[in-house]
């Protein structure tokens, strides 16, 4: 199936797929690829781009693939086996396409099994992971209000802005 022009694909480690099934809140199936221990959800083209920040927060654990040429998709009745197959949730909604809200359940599962999601850097739009960045004191400005004068930012962002 040609993916890049009609669908986006979300790829995650297989432990996330198992956790999603156990959680039971996502009514769409995912594909299991045992050879590389990954799972895949199908999204309508552009769905992930409607909510970019939630996807960026879990980008260390989950990839949104938008430029795949092709992806092998097993028949919808293939639910077991050594090769690619579908894993259906207990409460299946009847479709095979997830929507951009899939990210909410993925965030819960990645937090439980893989680690903390990223926070937003106060100086740029890129994700800031827990072990990265520095704390800086921002100069007071009537246009920007923060809960405190000290915020976490990327080290490079702090250097670029001349902050200490």
Per-residue pLDDT tens digits for 97-156:
998 889 999 999 999 999 999 999 989 989 999 889 998 887 666 666 555 678 889 999
pLDDT at 71: 80
Q: Which are the contacts of 91, defined by CB distance < 8 A and separation ≥ 6?
A: 24, 27
The structural domain count of the chain equals: 2
3-state secondary structure of 49: helix
Which strand (E) or helix (H) includes residue 163? none
Structure tokens at 36: 């590389």
Q: Could you give the 3-state DSSP secondary structure of residue 74?
A: coil
- What does the pLDDT read at residue 141? 63
User: 92 and 25 share a domain?
Assistant: yes
Report pLDDT digits (tens) over 115-130: 999 999 989 989 999 8
N-to-C CA span, the chain: 51
- Domain range spanning residue 127? 119-161
CB 72 within 8 A of CB 63: no
Whether residues 70 and 134 share a domain: the answer is: no
Would you say residue 134 lies in a domain? yes
Torsion of CA 11, 112, 98, 8, to 10 degrees: -20
Query: pTM for this one?
Result: 0.84
Computed on alpha carbons and rounded to an integer, the radius of gyration of the chain in Å comes to 19
10-49 per-position pLDDT tens digit: 999 999 999 999 999 999 999 999 999 999 999 998 888 8
């Amino acid at each position: 199936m040609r993916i890049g022009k009609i669908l986006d694909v979300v790829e995650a480690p297989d432990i996330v797929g198992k956790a999603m099934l156990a959680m039971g809140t996502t009514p769409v199936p995912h594909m299991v690829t045992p050879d590389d221990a990954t799972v895949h959800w199908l999204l309508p083209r552009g769905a992930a781009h409607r909510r970019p920040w939630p996807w960026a927060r879990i980008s260390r654990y989950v990839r949104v693939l938008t430029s795949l040429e092709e992806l092998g998709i097993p028949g919808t009745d293939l639910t077991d086996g050594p090769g690619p197959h579908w894993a259906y949730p207990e409460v299946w909604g009847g479709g095979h396409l997830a929507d951009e809200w899939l990210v909410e359940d993925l965030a819960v599962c990645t937090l439980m099994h893989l680690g903390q999601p990223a926070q937003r850097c106060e100086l740029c739009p890129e994700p800031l992971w827990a072990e990265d960045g520095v704390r800086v004191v921002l100069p007071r400005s009537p246009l920007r209000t923060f809960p405190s004068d000290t915020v976490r930012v990327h080290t490079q962002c702090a250097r670029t802005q001349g902050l200490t």
